Copies of this chain bind each other. A is one copy, B any other.
């Protein structure tokens, strides 16, 4: 009986990268490498997240910093070929070699393939994150604070974008495209961090809290449109007005269109989910929808995350929202940290070493971006009229943290190649700093108000 090649080559041996370089031995090693990388990522995310929590900072910051610690800048537990790292730089590969199961020929194959798998898992992580943010964003919430929140959001996008872009071009003589990208990275507001801090302060349902949350929701939508626009600009490499119009129109149409169509689709989704009887009857249709939307957004040259976000907004309107939210949580818990830790791991802090003269410009740019990022959002508190006694400072501060959306900008900018090393590092530092300072400042701003209220009690309390 002749023993031919396997029929079901599955699932413990991975395919060789190229059909003509088979290496059956590499398969289990790729799986082992992925498992070990995930263990390092999860340990880093929990260590960083918990330490952040202990000192009362958002856990996502800790995950990011822990990522820097395990990445190319320090421990080399998690390195990627696109950083210029080779297999011998990777601690994961060294450990695999220790176990004797890795021969010399398959080292670079195992290294690049396991890195690729981790990168795609991180991409799926950010898709799930934006889907979850979409699920948590409540369109009805906006209608209550309506106009005020919209003004705050628009000023909070336009002011830092203009100040940042113009400043980088005029003061630093930067080319237009990277300046626009860096300016765009200044526009986002982290709804996750802001709403979490507000709820911790018991201010989520206050007028200020409602305006901040409303503006952050609108800002999320604006930010993702801005992202889709600049990311596509970065791809074509030039500011083409036709393209710009196409992108703004298509991004807005995609988002608004999917929300509008979603009103009809909603009922079918609930009807389908209720008819299904097997495991995953809610989460699988939801992911089919989210991944299809992500694929569609990608296919019409927008970003995959815009599709995932729109899918989340649509499903947020269904009766199944709470149940779905509950089920997405563990999935997000295991995928999203991969994204943040990998972002940190890929940051090469050596470009910020001030003893190297080449790096000083990056540090100066970082300082400039931080100032613009803070002032550009602070002024939003004064962007609306009104006789009502309101804590405008708290609103401005509440808009400061850039959080995950800012990091997404940095990641996409880096991937498309428009951001050079100092500029990327400057954006990352801006994101980290604005996110670090906002929670304590917000606490201070509300505390000051409380003290005032205690002196002169009024209706607002």
Measured CB to CB, the residues of A under 8 A from B are: 1-19, 24, 27-28, 30-32, 34-36, 38-39, 42-43, 45-46, 49-50, 52-53, 59, 80-84, 86, 99, 101, 108, 112-113, 115-117, 119-120, 122-124, 126-127, 172-175, 178, 231, 276-281, 283-285, 287-288, 291-292, 294-295, 298-299, 301, 303-304, 327-334, 337, 339, 342-343, 346-348, 351, 361, 410-412, 414-422, 424-425, 428
Asked if A334 contacts B284 (CB within 8 A), the reply is yes
Residues of B within 8 A of A31 (CB): 120, 123, 298, 304
Within the oligomer, what is the number of copies of this chain? 2
A16 CA / B416 CA spacing, docked (Å) = 14
Show 23 residue pairs from A and B whose CB-CB distance is below 8 angstroms, ordered by the A residue: A1-B361, A4-B421, A6-B82, A6-B417, A8-B415, A9-B82, A10-B411, A11-B123, A11-B339, A11-B342, A11-B415, A15-B80, A17-B113, A17-B116, A18-B112, A24-B417, A31-B120, A32-B295, A35-B298, A45-B280, A279-B332, A284-B333, A331-B334
A287 CA / B43 CA spacing, docked (Å) = 10
Beta-carbon nearest neighbor of A122 in chain B: B11
Asked if B112 contacts A19 (CB within 8 A), the reply is yes
Asked if B3 contacts A45 (CB within 8 A), the reply is no
Which 6 residue pairs of A and B lie closest in terms of their CB atoms, listed nearest first? A280-B333, A9-B82, A13-B415, A8-B414, A6-B414, A49-B278
Say which residue of B27, B278, B418 sits within 8 Å of A50 (CB atoms): B278
Say which residue of B42, B53, B410 sits within 8 Å of A288 (CB atoms): B42
Asked if A116 contacts B119 (CB within 8 A), the reply is no
Beta-carbon nearest neighbor of A51 in chain B: B278
Chain B nearest CB from A430 CB (Å) reads 14
Say which residue of B12, B113, B337, B347 sits within 8 Å of A8 (CB atoms): B347
Chain B nearest CB from A438 CB (Å) reads 18
Residues of B within 8 A of A13 (CB): 82, 415-416
Residues of B within 8 A of A331 (CB): 330-331, 334
A364 CA / B419 CA spacing, docked (Å) = 64
A18 CA / B86 CA spacing, docked (Å) = 11
**Highest count of chain B CB atoms <10 Å: which of A12, A39, A337:** A12
**Highest count of chain B CB atoms <10 Å: which of A7, A117, A124:** A7
Please judge, given known A-B contacts A4-B421, A6-B414, whether A343 and B11 are in contact too, CB under 8 Å.
yes
Say which residue of B8, B80, B294 sits within 8 Å of A411 (CB atoms): B8
Please judge, given known A-B contacts A19-B108, A120-B34, A333-B280, whether A417 and B3 are in contact too, CB under 8 Å.
yes
Residues of B within 8 A of A343 (CB): 8, 10-11
Given contacts A1-B175, A18-B108, 10 further A-B contacts (CB under 8 A): A11-B119, A12-B123, A12-B416, A14-B119, A14-B123, A19-B112, A30-B116, A32-B298, A99-B299, A327-B333
Asked if A119 contacts B330 (CB within 8 A), the reply is no
Asked if B6 contacts A424 (CB within 8 A), the reply is yes
Chain B nearest CB from A117 CB (Å) reads 5
Asked if A45 contacts B120 (CB within 8 A), the reply is no
Asked if B342 contacts A59 (CB within 8 A), the reply is no
A39 CA / B27 CA spacing, docked (Å) = 25
Asked if A295 contacts B39 (CB within 8 A), the reply is yes
Beta-carbon nearest neighbor of A9 in chain B: B82
Asked if A17 contacts B17 (CB within 8 A), the reply is yes
Chain B nearest CB from A44 CB (Å) reads 11
**Highest count of chain B CB atoms <10 Å: which of A116, A120, A126:** A120
